[in-house]
Chain A
Amino acid sequence: MDDTGTEPSINGPGAAAVLAASIGWFVLGVLALTGDAVPGVARLLNISKPTGPLSGVTSGGIAVWLVAWTLLARLWRRDNVSMAVVGAAASALMVGGLLLTFPPFMDLLQGK
Chain B
Amino acid sequence: MELTLRDAATVAHGMGFGALLLLGFSGAFIGIYATSVSPNPWLPSDRDRRLFSLYLTVLAGLAWLAVFAGAYVIYPWYRAVPPAGAALAGYPQRLLMSNPTTSGWHDIGMEWKEHIAWLAPICLTACAYIFRRYGARLRAMTGLRNGLIGLALLAFAATGVAGFFGAMLNKFAPVRGGTDIVLMKEKTGG
Interface of A (DSSP majority class): helix
Given known contacts A5-B140, A14-B133, is B126 in contact with A103 (CB within 8 Å)? no
Q: Is A21's CB under 8 angstroms from B122's CB? A: yes
CA distance A25 to B158 in the complex (A): 12
Chain A residues near B150: list those with CB within 8 A: 18, 87, 90-91
Q: Is B141's CB under 8 angstroms from A11's CB? A: yes
CA distance A91 to B161 in the complex (A): 19
Q: Is A58's CB under 8 angstroms from B147's CB? A: no
CA distance A30 to B143 in the complex (A): 28
The minimal Cβ–Cβ distance linking A18 to chain B, given in whole angstroms, is: 4
Among the listed A50, A54, A97, A104, which residue makes an inter-chain contact with B119, where contact means beta carbons less than 8 Å apart?
A97
CA distance A36 to B95 in the complex (A): 21
Q: Is B141's CB under 8 angstroms from A50's CB? A: no
Among the listed A5, A52, A58, which residue makes an inter-chain contact with B79, where contact means beta carbons less than 8 Å apart?
A52
Interface of B (DSSP majority class): helix
Q: Tell me, yes or no, whether B180 is within 8 Å of chain A by CB.
A: no
Report the count of interface residues on B (CB-CB < 8 A).
40
B residues at A contact (CB < 8 Å): 49, 67, 71-72, 75-76, 79, 107-108, 111-112, 114-116, 118-119, 122-123, 125-126, 129-130, 132-137, 139-144, 146-148, 150-151, 154
A residues at B contact (CB < 8 Å): 1, 3-5, 9, 11, 13-15, 17-18, 20-21, 24-25, 28-29, 32, 48, 50-52, 54-55, 57-58, 61-62, 65, 82-84, 86-87, 90-91, 94, 97-98, 101-104, 106
